[in-house]
Structure 1
Amino acid sequence: MRKLIYAMNLSLDGYIATPGDDIGWSGPPNQELFQWWLEHEQAGGLSLYGRKLWETMSSHWPTGDQRPDATAAEIAYARNWRDTPKVVFSSTIDKVDWNSRLVTGDAIAEITRLKAEDGDPMHIGGATLAGAAVRAGLVDEYAVVTHPVLIGGGTPFFTALHTWIHLNHLETRTFPGGTVLTRYATRR
């Protein structure tokens, strides 16, 4: 059975994007944090995206290694992003590329099916998609990357829940600039 990990950058007040879906508030990550994201992504075998995050990622990373100022880590991240299989969940787009397939039907049924397979961990991103997976009890681990900024509103990292979810602390790590990674496992 595969593990499902929900990891994203968020503001100290708990948002992943501003009301206009801007994620630029986090600024470019420092090298140590970017290296963590690279290693996190390399450890996964499948990435699950909602439409908005898919559009953000696919607008940059397919050619992110071709920028003249790309760092070695950015080059590695772009190559890993292209090579990693991806599933995009959306009912409003009709085509995806870059080693991806589109699912327009029941996201929870498909994630449940994918979790039952053997393989490396799956990463899920996008608050709407991840929120549905959280409410369905499918998320095994949370990697909360909290930046020291307050944005006052927008898309929350955690959506409304039907019941409490108890967690076990796995790790806390502080990066230069005050960004804090906290990892938790769902208590089963």
Structure 2
Amino acid sequence: MRRLTFAMNTSLDGYVAAPGDELGWSVPSDELFQWWSDRVGATHLALYGRRLWENMSSHWPTADQQPGATPAAIEFADRWRDMPKVVFSATSTDVPVDWNARLFTGDAVAEITRLRAEDGGPMDITGATLAGAAMRAGLIDEYVLVTHPVLVGGGIPFFTALDSWVNLNLVETRTFPDGVVLSRYETRR
């Protein structure tokens, strides 16, 4: 069985995007960017919600070809393109296969359950709405919150409303430059 992790940047008040899908508050330091790059390199399958997919796919497929691309950006772009991805959307009609991605338009929870039951390496789920459906279904094994010291006052929350408690064990904390704190929790089963 694969392990499913929900990992995203979040504001101190718990939002993954500020109003208007603004993400400017979450620009990573070089050290944090490398951590995210290493995570992408170790992920065997990424599950994307439509909004985050649109954000990531608008930049990373060609980021390494942009003037002034740093070695870190080139490495991340290569890793991102190579990482297998499933994009969950009821409204999108096309996902370029040359980015190692496929589109899924059916029942997200059923597909995530099927993928999780397969043999294979770790899966990451990204996008708060998609992750919320997996949270409510009890499919997430690990939560990684990369908390930035900013209050954005609203937007898209990291956590969704749940029907019951989810008990967690803290397994790692790490501090990055600019006061960013990583907290990693495993779900108690």
* TM-score when normalising by structure 1: 0.97
Counterpart residue number, 1:3:
3
The amino acid across from 1:83 in the alignment is D
Higher helix fraction (1 or 2): 2
1:65 is matched with which residue? 64
Where does residue 19 of structure 1 map in the other structure?
19
* Sequence identity (%): 68
Structure 1: 5+ residue runs without aligned partners? Answer: none
2:25 maps to amino acid: W
Deviation (angstroms), 1:19: 2.0
- Give, in whole Å, the separation in 1 of the partners of 2:69 and 2:7: 24
* Partner Cα separation in structure 2 for residue 67 and residue 180 of structure 1: 30
Q: Deviating runs (4+, > 3 A) in structure 1?
A: none
Alignment of 1:153-168 (within 5 A): 153-168=154-169
Q: Equivalent residue for 1:178? A: 179
Q: Distance in 1 between matches of 2:148 and 2:28?
A: 10
With normalisation by structure 2, the TM-score equals: 0.97
Alignment of 1:21-100 (within 5 A): 21-26=21-26, 28-97=27-96, 98-100=99-101
AA partner of residue 169 (structure 2): N
For the residue of structure 2 that corresponds to 1:62, the secondary structure is coil
Shift of 1:187: 0.5
Q: Aligned partners of 2:123 and 2:47: how far apart in 1? A: 7
What's the CA shift for 1:68? Answer: 2.5
- How many residue pairs align between the two structures? 187
Q: Distance in 1 between matches of 2:17 and 2:122?
A: 25
Alignment of 1:116-135 (within 5 A): 116-135=117-136
Match of 2:150 in 1: 149
Encode CA deviations 1:130-166: one digit per residue, 9 max, x unaligned: 0000110000001100000000001000010010000
CA distance, structure 2, for counterparts of residue 69 and residue 163 of structure 1: 48
Deviates more, 1:17-26 or 1:148-157: 17-26
Deviation at 1:41, TM superposition (A): 1.1
- Tell me the residue number matched to 1:114: 115
Q: Once superposed, what is the RMSD of the aligned Cα atoms?
A: 0.8
- Distance in structure 2 (CA, Å) of the matches to 1:25 and 1:34: 14
Q: Distance in 1 between matches of 2:54 and 2:68?
A: 23
Q: Which amino acid aligns with 1:80?
A: R
Counterpart CA distance in 2 for 1:22 and 1:96 is 23
Give the deviation of 1:43 after TM superposition.
1.1
Q: CA deviation at 1:71?
A: 1.9
